[in-house]
A and B are shown apart, each in its own frame.
Chain A
Amino acid sequence: MAEEKEALFSKKNRALLSDPLNDNNPISVQVLGICSALAITVQLKPALVMSIAVLFVVIASNVIVSLIRNLIPSRIRIIVQLLIVASLVILVDQVLKAYAYDVSKELSVFVGLIITNCIVMGRLEAFALANGPWKSFLDGVGNGAGYALILVLVAFFRELLGSGKLFGFEVLGHKAKDIADSTGLYALGYENNGFMLLSPMALIVVGIIIWFQRSKNRKLIED
């Protein structure tokens, strides 16, 4: 009964939302879901769509598993979780193919790979199986947003430094073949860093984010 009396946004519940953004970020602290963080962060737009897709899958699977957590036979719980996650991912993939075809082509196999994103399965095992739907929902939002935060941050730097654009807009000026026709920074001789477009740079950017976060957040520093 005590659970029912707990306010919807009690301190504990708020922590479910805010922890994964910083202290317990799935990418920068738990180092999960790195594969997709490397693969689709060349531009902001696919990174954002991927984030939304993961957010949806984490939230929905968390809530569904939490709702039926007392019905799931423990011997087949991993398979049941996989089944739920996989179906949600297929739903996302089908919807993208119908309503956002370009994005779906760009994300290609990575939508399917949400199934193997450790964040999703990890939250189901660690949280949803033991907690009620509302808490699981908050946990899903928190972790999905934590993942999205890092993804968008990485994509921001990669797109800006790698192709001089943000969401496809040329924020640093237009780069023409001839320097005389270029505008903005390019007119001064600025060049895009092509290396930013390659996967290793995503790893390095994630590394810099982790370093920065640890230097600011004393709690994360291990003895």
Chain B
Amino acid sequence: MDKNSNAYTFIFAIIMVTLIAGILAFTAESLKPLQEKNVKAEKMQKILSTIGVEVSRDEADASFNKYIKQQLALKEDGTVDAAVDAFALSLKKELKKGDAQRFPLYIAEKEGKTFYVVPLYGAGLWDAIWGYVALDGDKNTIIGASFDHKGETPGLGAEITTDWFQAQFAGKSLLEDANAGFVADNFLSVKVIKGGAKTGDAHGVDAISGGTITSDGVSDMLKERLARYLPYFKNN
């Protein structure tokens, strides 16, 4: 057959593409369970790290079951929707739903103390940012935070994943007056402050130089997400 004919070229291309598509599809399908396991284990690692438990990915599953006592899917009014698997919830999808959103809440127990871990999801400069923040038993004091991002600028906005930035959140509090209860007026959240937070500011942490929009994204994300949990915190 003439190798330069159109027919040969077409047949060659069709055979080649079909063959390669088959190989790739097969590999992707057979490696999928392992890949999903990695993603799941990483999520568990991140959640555990906010309550001060650092584990390797292999141990993530066992530790998660040990420390995380309850995984709740909350409704808008703060009640629990028992029909929904909280861990499988994707905040990215939930936030697009409008009315029937469900928010995951993880209740952890470590050395006899109870902690509440709230997942976060928001927008940075270029793309999505997300993370987890752990609250002490009073549901007011932050004990740990962990952030991640999809495409922030390395060295600037991407610094939100660094330890120094995340460590700043520990000890900050959400409410203006700890005794005035979980109502919107009393809820201040924690802000990332450009130019640096004042010493002793219970509601502010230092922003990242050159990463202002990402820093603001973190502030907005904390305020927006945590406010949704007020009804639950008030009643429980």
Contact = CB atoms under 8 A, between A and B. Distances in A.
B57 A101 contact: yes
A90 B35 contact: no
Interface stretch (A92-100, A137-145, A157-165): A92-100
A72 interface: yes
A15 interface: no
A44 to B, nearest CB: 19
A101 B9 contact: no
Given A97-B38, A101-B38, A101-B42, A71 B20 contact: no
**Chain B, interface SS category:** helix
Interface residues of B, number: 20
Interface in B5-45: 8-9, 12-13, 16-17, 20, 23-24, 27-28, 31, 34-35, 38, 42
**Chain A, interface SS category:** helix
Given A97-B38, A98-B35, A101-B57, A75 B20 contact: no
A74, A87, A95 — most chain B CB neighbours (10 Å) = A87
B179 interface: no
B197 to A, nearest CB: 21
B24 A91 contact: yes
A83 B57 contact: no
Contacts of A71: 3, 12
Given A75-B9, A76-B9, A101-B38, A94 B4 contact: no
Contacts of A80: 12-13, 16
A145 B24 CA distance: 27
B17 A83 contact: yes
Contacts of A98: 31, 34-35, 38
Interface of A: 71-76, 79-80, 83-84, 87, 90-91, 94-95, 97-99, 101-102, 198
Given A87-B20, A87-B23, A74 B34 contact: no
Nearest to B37: A98
A98 B35 CA distance: 5
B9 A99 contact: no
Given A73-B8, A75-B4, A90-B24, A97 B35 contact: yes
Given A83-B16, A97-B35, A98-B34, A91 B27 contact: yes
24 contacts: A71-B12, A73-B3, A73-B4, A73-B9, A73-B12, A74-B4, A75-B4, A76-B9, A76-B13, A79-B13, A80-B13, A83-B16, A83-B17, A87-B20, A91-B23, A95-B31, A97-B35, A98-B31, A99-B34, A101-B38, A101-B42, A101-B57, A102-B57, A198-B155
